[in-house]
Amino acid sequence: MNIHEYQAKALLRDAGLPVLRGDAAFSVEQAVAAWDKFQVPLVAVKAQIHAGGRGAGHFEGAGGDEAGKQTDKQTDKQTGKQTGKGGGVRLCRTRDEVQANSESMLGRVLVTKQTGKSGRRVGRLYIEEGGAIERELYLSLLVDRQSAAVVVIASASGGIDIEDVAKKTPNLIHRTKIGIDGYSSYHGRKLAFALGLSGESVKHFSKLLQKLSELFRELDASLLEINPLVLQPDGKLLVMDAKMTFDDNALFRQPAIESLRDVEEEEPSEREANEVGLSYIKLDGTIACMVNGAGLAMATMDIVQNFGGSPANFLDVGGGADKDRVETAFRIILRDKAVEAILVNIFGGIMRCDIIAEGIVAAASKLGLSVPLVVRLQGTNFERGKEILASSSLNIIAAETLADAAEKAVAAAQGTNKSS
Ligand code: GDP
Ligand code: MN
């Protein structure tokens, strides 16, 4: 689960990390109230969405966005860099600028490198005191499954997309592993020197990393990214952006984190799937997949790609799927207008193929099948399952092997394409 920047910053502030004063605003009035409260010469008005790259992003249909254009001239002078024209991070020096920029962001759709073309609607802003920047650094902690440790990644090249840094100047990225024993001052010193810090800044950095790694573990986080971590002219550090992701499997013991959930940021279909125990992730392709087991689901997606198709989703119905769950899965799949064919690939183990077949028939007759359906059943009770499908009045394309199934699904999707 992801949370917003302002929520992550509140957690960090409470843990004693250096974060400037800031308030969330759900309306223009609240944004202006924050300006009035802080009484500072400069605030940053920041769009709150669960995606990065906001500074360089743009608002949909923002042609006439005078507020964005005006503040950005000042932004460029101030930082000499990237907050793009009319993006999701704007520096404001007057009450009127705060008002105009809040008006031109709230309720509008922000498109960034990380949101995809459809962008995200901005429902919340964060108004924060402006901070002085000497250098922008990058710092993140994440769970590395391979080494079963928390890995800390740091770079002297912060404030920009870390993937770009990794591609163009991989030598500027430094890593260290924090094992089961937790943080030790060695980790802090090592990375501080790699970042080119000196004097008191080394101590500030070590303290910061220690607190972050403790918080990371305490809150069952899976990612904590600070980009930029700002080195200020006085040698102190400042958390200027914060992104946090938490392990969904640990949310049951993190009620305070769970309460920060913003359902507006979640794909409605993914939420519905979650509620009935399906693992569903929407993708951009045209072939819907319904599979049992995460590994088989991934293999199915791969083989669809191999035959020139593109999966519309990842969907694992799980080991204990029943008729209702299969029906919900179908309903979710059919709601996606991009879907041109459905591929059901079930390997019956604990899961019985006849139950799945009954579920398919029930769901398809109830919901109506608007696209071709390819079904491959193997394993427990697969003969019985095939009989059920064959004796139904549904137009089902049967397949034997996984390759056969994928090929038929790709062909069926192309057929839909031509006829439409
Ligand atoms: P992101 O683009 O979504 O990653 O949003 P960030 O919060 O990282 O903001 C983008 C950039 O805006 C930062 O790298 C900074 O250069 C600049 N920025 C953000 N907040 C402030 C601020 O309070 N003061 C100044 N001077 N610059 C800021
Ligand atoms: Mn950032």
Q: What is the pLDDT of residues 182-222, one digit of tens each?
A: 999 999 999 999 999 999 999 999 999 999 999 999 999 99
Spell out the domains of the chain, with CATH numbers in brackets. 21-129 (3.30.1490.20), 135-258 (3.30.470.20), 267-414 (3.40.50.261)
pTM, to two decimals: 0.79
Burial of 33 (C-beta count, 10 Å sphere; 0-12/13-18/19+): middle
243-246/221-231 β-pairing: antiparallel
Buried b (16+ CB within 10 A) or exposed e, 371-391: bbbbbbbeebbbebbbebbee
Q: What is the pLDDT of residues 303-317, one digit of tens each?
A: 999 999 999 999 999
Q: Is pLDDT of 418 > 60?
A: no
Q: Whose CA is nearest to atom 14 of ligand 1?
A: 159
C-alpha of residue 57 to centroid of ligand 2, in Å: 12
Weakest mean pLDDT among 6-20, 239-253, 319-333: 319-333
Q: Is pLDDT of 420 > 60?
A: no
131 lines ligand 1 (CB under 6 A): yes
Name every residue whose Cβ is closer than 8 Å to that of residue 296 and which is 6 or more positions away in sequence: 345, 347
Cβ atoms of 287 and 371 within 8 Å: the answer is no
Q: Is pLDDT of 337 > 80?
A: yes
Nearest 5°: phi and psi at 103? -60, -40
Residue 250 vs residue 356, higher pLDDT? 250
Q: Whose CA is nearest to atom 7 of ligand 1?
A: 241
Active-site residue set: 138, 225
Cβ atoms of 4 and 18 within 8 Å: the answer is no
Q: What is the pLDDT of residues 31-73, one digit of tens each?
A: 999 999 999 999 999 999 999 999 999 999 876 677 776 665 4
- pLDDT score for 322: 80
- Res. 332 pLDDT band, cuts 50 70 90: very high
Nearest 5°: phi and psi at 277? 90, 20
Q: What letter would DSSP give residue 96?
A: H
Q: Which of 51, 46, 55 is nearest to 19 (CA)?
A: 46
- Res. 79 pLDDT band, cuts 50 70 90: very low
Q: Which of 304, 293, 292 is nearest to 405 (CA)?
A: 304
Q: What is the pLDDT of residues 103-162, one digit of tens each?
A: 999 999 999 999 888 899 999 999 999 999 999 999 999 999 888 899 999 999 999 889
Name every residue whose Cβ is closer than 8 Å to that of residue 175 and which is 6 or more positions away in sequence: 151, 152, 153, 154
- pLDDT score for 235: 96
Q: How far apart are CA 19 and CA 401, in angstroms?
A: 56
Q: Whose CA is nearest to atom 17 of ligand 1?
A: 83
- pLDDT score for 267: 81
Q: Whose CA is nearest to atom 15 of ligand 1?
A: 159
Cβ atoms of 114 and 51 within 8 Å: the answer is yes
Distance of CA 100 to the CA centre of its chain: 29
Please give the radius of gyration of the chain, using alpha carbons only, rounded to the nearest integer. 25
Please state the atom number of ligand 1 nearest to the C-alpha of residue 227.
8
385 lines ligand 1 (CB under 6 A): no
Distance of CA 280 to the CA centre of its chain: 14
- pLDDT score for 183: 95
- pLDDT score for 70: 66
Q: Is pLDDT of 76 > 70?
A: no
The four Cα atoms 129, 132, 135, 141 give a dihedral, to 10 degrees, of -20
pLDDT-above-90 percentage for the chain:
75
C-alpha of residue 71 to centroid of ligand 2, in Å: 19
379 lines ligand 1 (CB under 6 A): no
Which ligand approaches the C-alpha of residue 135 most closely?
1
Which ligand approaches the C-alpha of residue 44 most closely?
1
130 lines ligand 1 (CB under 6 A): yes
Nearest 5°: phi and psi at 186? -60, -40
Q: What is the pLDDT of residues 255-286, one digit of tens each?
A: 999 999 998 898 888 888 888 889 999 998 99
C-alpha neighbours within 13 Å on the C-beta side of residue 388: 19
Q: Is pLDDT of 294 > 80?
A: yes
Which tokens belong to 207?
A: 């303290």
Instruction: Map 345-393 to HEC letters.
Output: EEEECCCCHHHHHHHHHHHHHHHCCCCCEEEEEEECCHHHHHHHHHHCC
Q: How far apart are CA 213 and CA 204, in angstroms?
A: 14
C-alpha of residue 28 to centroid of ligand 1, in Å: 20
Q: How far apart are CA 314 and CA 303, in angstroms?
A: 13
C-alpha of residue 124 to centroid of ligand 2, in Å: 17
